[in-house]
Amino acid sequence: MSTLFDCRDDSQLLPGMREARKAIARGQLVVMPTDTVYGIAADAFSASAVKALLEAKGRGRQSPPPVLVSGIPAMRALVAELPEPIERLVEAFWPGGLTIVLPAQPSLTWDLGETHGTVAVRMPDHHLARELLEETGPLAVSSANLTGMSAAVVAQDAKDMLGDSVTVYLDAGPAATGIASTIIDATSLVGGDDPLVRVLRDGAISREQLRTVLGDLLEPDPAEEPAAVDETAVAAEPAAGDQ
């Protein structure tokens, strides 16, 4: 059975957070508010919990979830290296709607799916999300919806879709933006021959905002290039609703 806690009600906030922490510790799933959309969360270091998350959404291992962190120190523990340009991006846009893909720390023992040695990291701009993350550690978090359906911007919509596959729902009212995070691939900045940051998905942070920090390190926007420029190049895109 699942339980929904209205975290806008002081009498439900503390019990809800306590039950969420307990559920994560038991390898169960929690729906939590973020600044973008509601997310379905699991212990990032529990392979069975991550597997349950993917199954609840109807997704396979080829679509690994991003990892939410409470701050930059947690990010440094997850990535192999934090390049200086990405440090500037983090200072400019975290907490907020920017997910950054980097090579994962090779010593980590976890299984998020077919990540090819990378991890997608974000620090959410929501006080309840960060409070939970500070207490649980990094969480694998994907948008709280069934694959193919719109990401939930209110907790009840997530509950209607995910039902009892989730143990605890934390309701903090409508999501602030309802716009998924921008996802960038910065892996080539770590030992790559052609260091460029690629935008995998446009979202809350615009390309113009990214370019103010990255300058020429940000790949050109394909929409602004002549149609004749390598029309055959197609990159794999992450699922549209992800955090």
What pLDDT, in 10s, does the model give residues 131-166?
999 999 999 999 999 999 999 999 999 999 999 999
Q: Residue 185 is inside which H or E element, if any?
A: strand 182-185
Distance set, CA 192 to CA 74, 196, 207 (Å): 24, 9, 22
Picking from 237, 176, 230, the residue whose alpha carbon sits closest to that of residue 204 is: 176
pTM for this prediction = 0.90
- Are residues 209 and 93 in contact, defined by beta-carbon separation less than 8 angstroms? yes
Looking at residue 192, what is its pLDDT? 73
- Sorted by sequence, the CB contacts under 8 Å of residue 91 that are 6+ apart come out as none
User: Sheet harboring 198-201: ordered strands across?
Assistant: 3-6, 168-171, 30-32, 39-43, 139-143, 67-68, 118-122, 98-103, 182-185, 198-201
Cα separation of the two ends of the chain? 25
Looking at residue 78, what is its pLDDT? 97
Report the distance separating Cα 33 and Cα 128, nearest Å. 7
Report the distance separating Cα 230 and Cα 235, nearest Å. 12
What secondary structure, in 3-state letters, does 53-107 show?
HHHHHCCCCCCCCCEECCCHHHHHHHECCCCHHHHHHHHHHCCCCEEEEEEECCC
- Are residues 33 and 129 in contact, defined by beta-carbon separation less than 8 angstroms? yes
- Sorted by sequence, the CB contacts under 8 Å of residue 174 that are 6+ apart come out as 153, 154
Looking at residue 18, what is its pLDDT? 98
Looking at residue 56, what is its pLDDT? 97
- Are residues 27 and 47 in contact, defined by beta-carbon separation less than 8 angstroms? no
- Are residues 65 and 139 in contact, defined by beta-carbon separation less than 8 angstroms? no
The dihedrals phi and psi of 201, each to the nearest 5 degrees, come to -150, 130
Q: CA torsion angle for 191, 104, 53, 57 (degrees, to 10)?
A: -10
Which residues of the chain fall below pLDDT 70?
224-241, 243
Q: Residue 4 is inside which H or E element, if any?
A: strand 3-6
Looking at residue 241, what is its pLDDT? 54
Looking at residue 224, what is its pLDDT? 61
